[in-house]
A and B are shown apart, each in its own frame.
Chain A
Amino acid sequence: MSDDSIIIPSTTTNSLSKLTINDYSKTGFGYNPSIGTQSNSINNIETSNLLISKKQIILSTSTIPIYEKLHLISKKSPIEEITLSSLLYLFSEIIQWQFKNSKNINDLEARLNGLGYKLGIKLIEMIKLKDGYKLLKRDTKILEILQFIHGPFWKFIFGKQADELEMSQNNNDEYMIIDNLPILNKYISIPKDYGDLNCCAFVAGIIEGSLDVSGFNCNVTAHTSTTDQHPLRTVYLIKFHSNVLYRENIRN
């Protein structure tokens, strides 16, 4: 398995924020800003053949267009709830799988973060679509987007709001979202010799992906911060890049 094929934001150059105008979709479809509208036209033979042979298209896509499926969510979707158990088994298996591939604890966290990152990119669009026009406006301020993540976003993926949203007192580029009982960690006991590993690095990746794709470049890390009442309490530390703060200052 080659390491460079994984998107690990903030550690490799593959991060979305670092894509240049010369990067283009490898599948041959999609809008390429460096070419302009031309990129949407069907000019190469391979793609036009695909589009012409209708049979092949039916073979590789389902019968309902994906956007119609997304709109179905706002109505009552048939699969409203999947049991938490199934998700937790899957998550546990993901950790074991990534654990085998990783060199150390930091590497494991980076990999989990990378998996979550890809999810975050898709999730934020999906959630904005789900609630219709109410949420469809673009958030332009740090506080607005964070409140969205803390509220509706959290509720959509975990079925409840996050517990706290705080701004760091020392650094003005750092914010914290706090979850007192992170569902994914509910049954996981971290062995003593694994240091401060927190498997919610996966969730940190989700947050990082959705903030990055909304134009708020940042790094997000998950830290365990135990209190007597909440032994699994997890703090997601969000550190924005300087350009985001610069923009924020101009707008204010």
Chain B
Amino acid sequence: MKVYSILILNKAGGLIYQNEISSGLNKLSANDYLVLAGTLHGVHAIGSKLSQSISTTNNLKNTEELNSIQNSNILSFGKALNPNNNKSGLQSIETDFFNLYNFQTVSGLKFIIITSPNDNFENFETSNEIFRKLYILYSDYVMKDPFYSLDMPIKSILFDKNVKELFR
């Protein structure tokens, strides 16, 4: 699986980071990326409304309980889980030319990963792991940088460098 591009969106759906990891897709203009980010954010939100009306109250309860069970597992075994919390929103888009995966954190950040097409389920698992690593890099190189202002575009040189190294 080849990763073409990654995007990070803040809570409000604003694009705060975009990096073309490897070539293979046509380049979009900066403005187009902003529109793409906003659109995905909107589709994700509306999509989750759709699924809410489908799911029964029973199902809702199950998600909450499931969360609880996962949390208590983390507490008692001390083993970390994947921080993805996107359950009912837009999760992926698959086309003949690329796959797009959308991850969301509990705090509302979105990490979007665009990869080469592959209908293998492993593809999702791999990108899930990439998301986890990206999130950790974000929490280190962006959150601990005193010169970064929250919710603003990320300009950190070190973050850029480490993201590139992740895909080397």
> So, do A and B actually touch in the complex, CB under 8 Å?
yes
Kindly state the separation between the CA atoms of A92 and B141 in the bound complex, as whole angstroms.
11
Asked if B157 contacts A189 (CB within 8 A), the reply is yes
Closest beta carbon of chain B to A44's beta carbon, Å: 45
Q: Which B residues, 77 to 132, have Cβ-Cβ distances below 8 Å to chain A?
A: none
In contact, A92 and B156 (Cβ under 8 angstroms): no
- CA distance in complex: A95, B145 (Å): 10
- Would A187 and B140 count as touching, CB distance under 8 A? yes
In angstroms, how far is the closest chain A Cβ from the Cβ of B133?
Answer: 16
A96 CB-CB contact with B under 8 Å: yes
A189 to B144, CA, bound (A): 10
* A85 contact set on B, CB distance < 8 A: 144
B124 to chain A, nearest CB (A): 30
* B144:A187 contact, CB within 8 angstroms: yes
Within 8 Å by CB of A190, from B141, B147, B159, lies B147
How far, in angstroms, from A191 to B141 measured CA to CA in the complex? 13
Considering only CB atoms, which chain B residue lies closest to A91 in the complex? B146
Which of B146, B157, B159 counts the most chain A CB atoms within 10 A?
Answer: B146
* Chain A contact surface mostly: helix
CA distance A194 to B159 in the complex (A): 18
Contact indicator A99/B146 (Cβ below 8 Å): yes
Q: Contact mask B140-159 → A, CB, 8 Å, 1/0?
A: 11001111000000011111
Q: A199 — which chain B residues lie within 8 A by C-beta?
A: 146
B147 to chain A, nearest CB (A): 5
A3 to chain B, nearest CB (A): 21
CB of A88 within 8 Å of the partner chain: yes
Does residue A156 face the partner (Cβ distance < 8 Å to B)? no
Instruction: Tell me which residues across on chain B come within 8 A of A93, comparing CB atoms.
Output: 146
Please, which residue of chain A has its CB at the minimum distance from the CB of B159?
A: A189
Contacts A93-B146, A95-B146 given: A187-B141 contact, CB under 8 Å? Answer: yes
B147–A188 touching, CB < 8 Å:
yes
User: From residue 81 to 104 of chain A, which have CB atoms closer than 8 A to chain B?
Assistant: 85, 88-89, 91-93, 95-96, 99
**Across-interface contacts of B146 in A (CB, < 8 A):** 91-93, 95-96, 99, 188, 199
A188, B148: Cα distance in complex, Å: 9
User: How many angstroms from the CA of A191 to the CA of B156 in the assembled complex?
Assistant: 8
- What is the bound-complex CA distance between A99 and B158, given in angstroms? 21
A191 touches B158 (CB 8 A): no
Nearest CB on A from B82, distance (A): 20
A85 to B158 CA separation, bound complex (whole angstroms): 17
CB proximity of B142 to chain A, nearest CB, Å: 8
- 10 closest A-B pairs by beta carbon, nearest first, are A95-B146, A187-B144, A189-B156, A92-B146, A189-B157, A189-B158, A88-B144, A96-B146, A187-B141, A187-B140
In addition to A92-B144, A93-B146, A187-B141, 13 A-B residue pairs with Cβ atoms within 8 Å of each other are A85-B144, A91-B146, A95-B146, A99-B146, A187-B144, A187-B145, A188-B147, A189-B141, A189-B145, A189-B155, A189-B156, A191-B147, A199-B146
15 cross-chain CB contacts under 8 A: A88-B144, A89-B144, A92-B146, A93-B146, A99-B146, A187-B140, A188-B144, A188-B145, A188-B147, A189-B141, A189-B147, A189-B155, A189-B159, A190-B147, A194-B147
